[in-house]
Amino acid sequence: MQAIKLLPDGLISQIAAGEVIERPASVLKELLENSIDAGATEIQINIAQGGLKLMRVTDNGSGIPTEELPLALTRHATSKIANQEDLHNITSLGFRGEGLASIASVSYLLLISHTPAAEHAWEIRSEGPQLMSPEPSSHMPGTTVEVRDLFFNLPARRKFLKTEATEFAHCESMLRRMALSHAAITFTLHHNGKLRHHWQAATVEERISAVLGQEFSEAATWVNEQAVNINLRGMLALPAYSRATRDMQYFFVNGRFIRDKLVTHALREAYCDVLHLDRHAAFVLYLGVDPTQIDVNVHPTKTEVRFREGRMIHQFIYHSVSKALAAPHTGAEFATH
Ligand code: ADP
Ligand code: MG
């Protein structure tokens, strides 16, 4: 046994990055969350070689003040929460202050930002854990983050990545989740210079059909249930449109895509009389709850949540979905959250 030693900062960041950044799609998730939190209405994504070579996200959001650029790439630095009370009332997608720092520690990162108050844009670069000084740059109001050569300094991790096509497919499904939960934002995605997706700001109904196809929307019925401090809205495919896999199951809580046993169970129960055992339901559902009713700080990737009143949530989902399946109808437009 060797003596106990404190690890160098760069190594600490890389270990932490391992939890959040698994593959290019995780980089895309962190960057899109940041653009959405910054109030962007237009987000452009450029990917090269499945995101292994390059991932660039440009938004027209609030921007980052020049003096805060180095902090944006520093671990545990965030503008989204300030104290313990905020942690129990999360209204943004990010709050851990480690997305950009994690990405920066395992790539070549360039961050360019222009706030409305600044005369011009500024940029800052990092090469792995090494941070450079900010320099003047040019950019419209908003932010661009460019991530090159992901895992260049972690060859073991890079070896685990799949083919370019598979990594790109993961990026696409990440984008689908973000686009389904933020219909009011225009998303454009280019891969290797080719336009692959362009979803104009739209109503939720239009966005669902743009992302999942007309066929899904036509086979779906609306859910629109409200109770005190909780609501469930969205579209459920009728049993005839069941799937062989769970590939079309989208569940969002307060605009965040989640996977949750309790939710899955409630949905399976609601579908159990109408769906064959080896078939899977297709749905896009938006649950709205008071932020104090959920704990998002369960896992670094934030795809898990804990519900304070799990039983009530289970019943609400079960009843809303059963009711919609029993009396299918198309409904009016609604907001996602
Ligand atoms: P978190 O999102 O959890 O706060 P990040 O490391 O992802 O942590 O981002 C750190 C900070 O940098 C954010 O809190 C935000 O203030 C700023 N930031 C990052 N990306 C953007 C962006 N696209 N537009 C505006 N500000 C951003
Ligand atoms: Mg973030």
Q: Measured between alpha carbons, how far is 230 from 75 in angstroms, rounded to an integer?
A: 34
- Find tokens 């994690």 and name the residue: 102
Nearest by Cα to 104 from 80, 132, 82: 132
Query: What pLDDT is stored for residue 335 in this prediction?
Result: 46
Distance 29 CA to ligand 2 centre (A): 9
Nearest CA to ligand 1 atom 12: 72
Domain co-membership, 110 together with 235? no
Q: What is the CATH number of the domain that holds 59?
A: 3.30.565.10
**Which ligand 1 atom is nearest residue 102's CA?**
6
Minimal-distance CA residue to ligand 1 atom 8: 97
pTM for the structure as a whole: 0.96
Atom of ligand 1 nearest to the CA of 98: 6
Whose alpha carbon is nearest atom 15 of ligand 1? Answer: 79
Indicate whether 145 and 59 sit together in one domain.
yes
250 and 176, same structural domain? Answer: no
* Rg of the chain (C-alpha set): 21
d(CA 18, ligand 1 centre) in Å: 19
Ligand nearest, relative to CA of residue 145: 1
Looking up tokens 């409630």 gives 266
Same domain, 191 and 216: no
Structural domain includes residue 205: no
**Bridge partner list, 55:** 47, 147
If one counts the domains in the chain, the total is 2
> Which atom of ligand 1 lies nearest, measured to the CA of 62?
25
Q: Which helix (H) or strand (E) holds 320?
A: helix 310-326
Q: Tell me, yes or no, whether 226 and 263 share the same domain.
A: yes
Indicate left, alpha or beta for 128 from its phi (over 0: left) and psi (-120 to 50: alpha).
left
Q: Using alpha carbons only, give the angle 230, 233, 238 rounded to the nearest 5 degrees.
A: 135
* Atom of ligand 1 lying closest to residue 100 CA: 6
Phi and psi angles of residue 239, each rounded to the nearest 5 degrees, phi first: -50, -30
Q: How far is the CA of 314 from the centre of ligand 1 (A)?
A: 33
Residue 335: inside a domain: no
Q: How far is CA 158 from the centre of its chain?
A: 22
In a domain, 185, yes or no: yes
Give φ, ψ of 265 to 5 degrees: -65, -45
**57 Cα: distance to centroid of ligand 1 (angstroms):** 13
Which runs of consecutive H residues, i.e. helices, occur in 144-203? 155-160, 164-181
Whichever domain contains 292, its CATH number is 3.30.230.10
Q: What are the C-alpha distances in Å from 33 to residues 43, 59, 301? A: 11, 11, 11
Ligand 1 atom 17, closest CA: 72
Which ligand 1 atom is nearest residue 96's CA? 3
User: Are 192 and 227 part of one and the same domain?
Assistant: no
Residue that terminates a domain, selected from 131, 165, 199: 199
* Substitution candidate for ligand 1 out of 78, 90, 93 with most atoms within 8 A of CB: 78
Q: Is residue 207 part of a domain?
A: no
- Ligand 2 center–CA 76 separation, angstroms: 11
Residue 24 near residue 52, CB atoms below 8 Å: yes
Task: Give me the tens of pLDDT residue by residue for the chain, a chain 337 residues long.
Answer: 899 999 988 888 888 888 899 999 999 999 999 999 999 999 999 999 999 999 999 999 999 999 999 999 999 999 999 999 999 999 999 999 999 999 999 999 999 999 999 999 999 999 988 899 999 999 999 999 999 999 999 998 999 999 999 999 999 999 999 999 999 999 999 999 999 999 999 999 999 999 999 999 999 999 999 999 999 999 999 988 889 999 999 999 999 999 999 999 999 999 998 898 889 999 999 999 999 999 998 888 889 999 999 999 999 999 999 999 998 875 544 544 4
Q: Which two tokens stand for residue 227?
A: 């109770």
Return the closest-CA partner of residue 142 out of 28, 72, 38, 32.
38
User: Pick from 175, 199, 223: which residue ends a domain?
Assistant: 199
Q: Are 46 and 190 in contact (CB under 8 A)?
A: yes
Cα dihedral 270, 273, 279, 280, rounded to 10, equals -10
Residue 164 sits in the same domain as residue 43? yes
Do 273 and 175 lie in one domain? The reply is no
Question: Are 28 and 171 within 8 A, CB to CB?
Answer: yes
Predicted pLDDT of residue 18:
85
Judgement on whether residues 49 and 175 belong to the same structural domain of the protein: yes
| 262 phi, psi to nearest 5 deg | -65, -40
In this structure, the residue with its CA closest to atom 10 of ligand 1 is: 72
234 bridge partner residues: 223, 285
- Final residue of a structural domain among 141, 170, 199: 199
Ligand at shortest distance from the CA of 109: 1
Ligand that lies nearest to the alpha carbon of residue 141, given by its number in the listed order: 1
- Please tell me whether residues 317 and 236 are part of one structural domain: yes
Rounded distance between C-alpha atoms, residue 174 and residue 11, angstroms: 28
CA of 227 to the centre of ligand 2 (A): 31
Whether residue 337 lies inside any domain: the answer is: no
Domain presence at residue 28: yes
In a shared domain, residues 273 and 148: no
- CA pair distance 315, 9, nearest whole angstrom: 47
Note whether 242 and 281 are same-domain residues: yes
Give residue 13's domain range: 9-199
* Structural domain includes residue 336: no
List residues near ligand 1 (CB under 6 A).
Answer: 30, 34-35, 38, 59, 61-64, 72, 78-80, 94-101, 143
- 242 in any annotated domain: yes
C-alpha of residue 17 to centroid of ligand 2, in Å: 13
Query: Measuring from atom 25 of ligand 1, which residue has the nearest CA?
Result: 63
